[in-house]
Amino acid sequence: MKKIVLISTYPYIHAYGLRMISSVLKSQGYEIKLLFLNAPFGELYSPKVLEEAIELSRNSLFVGVSLMTNFFERAKQVTQALKTRLEIPIIWGGIHTAIKPHRCLEYADAICIGEGEETIRTFANALTTSKDFSNIPNIWFKKDGKIIENKICPMEDNIKDLPFPDYEYNNHFVIDNSGLSQMNAKNMEQYMGYEYQTMVTRGCFYKCSYCANNFFENNYESKNARK
C-alpha cells in the first residue's frame, strides 16, 4: 500500500477540503497520514514540529500541502524543511494556488488549481504507475525553468457522488505540547468540540469583492454553466 501525507497549515483542524481529499485517496487504497499543523494564527512552526513532520513524511508517494493566502509562509516553511531531507514530490492545493499560482511554484513541485478530488486521485495513480503527471488537468508544474499550465476543469456543482470527509483519526496528527501527537478521542474533542462540519452545496450566491469566492466566480466555469 502506498503512503501519502497530507498537511494542513490552518490554525484549526476542521480542514474540510483536505479531509475530502483524504477520503478520495483512501477509496483508491492509499494509506493516508493527515498532519494538522495547527499552530496559533500568525506563528511559524518550531524546529521540533518540522522535524516530526519530516519523519512522518518519509517513504511517501508524495506530500500534499493545503493553504490559504494567510498561511503561505507556513506552507513555504514546511515545504523547504521537507526538501532539505526528502526527495518526495510536494504538491500544493487550496485557494492560494489558484490566486497566485506562479508564486506557489517557486516552492512547490506542482500545484492543483481548482477542485482537487478527481485531480489528486489521477495525480496519485499517475505517480504510482507511469510517474508522469505532465498532462493532468488542473495540475501546473515547473519543468526546465518553464511553467507548464494544463487546462483547468469546470467546477463541480454536484457533490452527491463525493465521499464524506475523513474523520477517522487513527492516522491523524496534531500539534500538542509543542510537538506532533497522534490524534485521539480526547484531543479530537478538545480541538473540534462537538461540531461536525458537512457541506450540502458548493460555491456562494454572493460576489463580495473581498472574498475568494468572487475570484472563482469570475474566473472558473461551473459544469452546470457549461450545459
SS3 62: coil
User: Nine-digit cell at 79?
Assistant: 515545504
Do the beta carbons of residue 81 and residue 50 sit within 8 Å?
yes
Q: Answer whether 150's CB lies under 8 Å from 139's CB.
A: yes
Tens digits of residue pLDDT in 17-52? 899 999 999 999 999 999 999 999 999 999 999 999
Residue 86, Cβ neighbours under 10 Å: how many? 16
Q: What CA–CA distances, in Å, run from 4 to 71, 90, 135?
A: 21, 11, 21
What backbone torsions phi and psi does residue 92 show, to the nearest 5 degrees? Answer: -100, 150
Cell of 106: 517557486
For the segment 156-165, what is each residue's pLDDT rounded down to a tens digit? 666 777 888 9
Mean pLDDT within 80-84: 97
Please state the pTM of the whole predicted model.
0.91
